[in-house]
Amino acid sequence: MSDQQLIQSNGPDIVKMLSGVVMRAMQWVLGAVLILLVGSWLAWWAMYLQRQFAEDEIRAACQRVMPDTVQRCVDTVIIQRGGARR
């Protein structure tokens, strides 16, 4: 077998190997992006739920203490705790 025939026979194998490596790298990148998106969404959702539970507790306490001005009491407590007004 001549050198030229050897190079020609190895050519497609190298292309297949490189395309496999590129495909594997693209799968890793796509997986990492999906994990990042799902993780950030879960972190946002956890913060949202925590804020909701805290506001519900504040609202219940304000309802017991000041039933006639609940919303004003809630806004005041949230501002005093460093939260933003809606």
| pLDDT tens by residue, the chain, 86 residues | 555 555 555 556 776 777 888 889 999 999 999 999 999 999 999 999 999 999 999 999 999 998 899 999 999 998 998 876 55
b/e code 30-69 from CB counts within 10 Å (16+ = b): eeeeeeeeeeeeeeeeeeeeeeeeeeeebbeebeeeeeee
Work out how many domains the chain is built from and give that number: 1
| Per-residue pLDDT at 21 | 83
Q: Tell whether 85 is covered by a domain.
A: no
| Per-residue pLDDT at 84 | 65
Q: Tell whether 50 is covered by a domain.
A: yes
DSSP letter (8 states) at residue 75: H
| Per-residue pLDDT at 10 | 56
| Per-residue pLDDT at 83 | 73
Q: Tell whether 86 is covered by a domain.
A: no
Domain hosting 45: range is 3-80
Q: Tell whether 73 is covered by a domain.
A: yes
- Name the residue among 74, 56, 16 with its Cα closest to residue 84: 74
Q: Is 56 helix (H, G, I), strand (E, B) or coil?
A: helix
